[in-house]
Amino acid sequence: MINPLAFFYSFNVINTDNTSVFIIFILMKKFEIPEYYKSPIISKVKAKRKLEDPRKKDFSPTLLKFENVEFIISRHFGFCYGVENAIEKSYNAIQENPDKRIFLISQMIHNPDVNQDLLSQGVRFIQDTDGTQLIPWNEIMQEDIVIIPAFGTTTEIRDLLFEKGINTQTYNTTCPFVEKVWNRSEKLGKRNHTIIIHGKHNHEETKATFSHSKQNAPSLIIKNMEETIFLSNYILGKHSTEDFNNYFKGKYSDNFSPEVDLNKIGVVNQTTMLAGETEEIAGFLCTTMITKFGERQIKSHFAETRDTLCYATNDNQSATLGLLNLKADLAIVVGGYNSSNTSHLVELLEPKFKTFFIKNEGEILAKNKIKSFDIHSKEIIKLNDFLGENSELKIIITSGASCPDAIVDNVIKKVLNLMEIKYNPNNIKL
């Protein structure tokens, strides 16, 4: 389905070997989002980079210096197309329906500040992020406004809303790149492939993708290489079917028959997973199928699927990987603690840099005190080694795709205040 907020131009290019390549260009719409999500610092940074590099080929960071503190700002970060689309539609729903009850199926995006602002304006969440029911479905009426979040929703919830007579199209904010994964899964299913979904089985997007995928094909969710290796060993006869069923309990579709359904597979993913890990998983499973069926038969057993990560996830991760070649005293990643794409940025940075994962400037308590989210223990930890005693600092800063630039601005200003540096937005030199 073509998203009405984007314009698609396509044509065929004939290569020198007479093969035809179908190329699609997407001209992104400029979205209207609330002014308080915008920022005086980051907006200037992004405007300058867009002017200098409109085709986004330069992944080098922006250096922003304030006296003795230099911020190394990632080339790509912050609101993506899907998030801006979701924000615009959600606030339109509020403005266009002042006399109606407005509900979101779950959090619109994984950012606490954005979701809290929606709650403060009267929007209510039907479910929590883990699927816990906050408002019973029998309390949702036909005349209510229901917003579908950027992650999309399951076919079960879609059908339930349809039966209630609720319009789900006007305020459907499902990201078009998520829909792309659904379409890819459907095509694979029609060719009798079992769908292997690289994702977190309890994440809203993966739940939605799984529910769509299983309509057309047997489907299985795998989280990482550890689970991929177990799956590979089963395919090669090293585990029993009982072991498989126990190991992947709750992660495969109804009537899934591993003895039959794992003879022909294709891989798609949750759009916010690590690109390198998805590629590694697909390559590993391809090798497994070659081992079992032989290289000559591989096309009959494994679908070569192009990466289904969204452009923003790819750009953000590539820009973050580029930061690893630099020297810095610390790194700050800003975003919601339940944001998958944000946690992966932390995962990329922390092996080299002292990395702090914060939701906003409020987590910075003092010059050497900060509350940082640990992506491994899933706990917020108070640390006493934030800025240290250095008189000069180089600080890497980036954020997830659902984090407003204004929050990144506030983090920068908080650091400058702690370093006793006066900040003037009109004197920013790039």
Q: Which residues are the active-site residues? A: 205
DSSP 35-85: GGG--HHHHHHHHHHHHH-TT----PPEEEEETTEEEEE-SS-S--HHHHH
Q: Which residue has the tokens 């998203």?
A: 3
Which residues does 383 contact at the CB level (< 8 Å), separation at least 6?
356, 369, 370, 371, 372
How many Cβ atoms sit within 10 Å of the Cβ of residue 420?
9
Q: Tell me, rounded to whole angstroms, the distance of Cα 229 from its chain centroid.
A: 24
Phi (first) and psi of residue 269, to 5 degrees: -150, 165
CB 281 within 8 A of CB 228: yes
Per the listing, tokens 């939701």 go with 359
Rounded CA separation 140/270 (Å):
29
Torsion of CA 268, 287, 348, 195, to 10 degrees: 10
Cα 334 to Cα 343: distance, rounded to the nearest angstrom: 10
- The rounded distance, in Å, linking the Cα atoms of 247 and 80 is 35
Q: How many residues does the chain have?
A: 430
Reduced to 3 states (helix: H, G, I; strand: E, B; else coil), residue 179 is helix
Residue 355, phi-psi category: left (phi > 0), alpha (psi -120 to 50), beta (remainder): beta
Q: How far apart are CA 96 and CA 65, in angstroms?
A: 43
Q: Residue 338: how many CB atoms within 10 A of its CB?
A: 19
Q: Which of 275, 270, 43 is nearest to 150 (CA)?
A: 270
| CA–CA distance, 323 with 306 (Å, rounded to integer) | 26
Closest CA to 305 of 263, 342, 264, 250: 264
Phi-psi region of 373 (alpha: psi -120 to 50; beta: other; left: phi over 0): beta
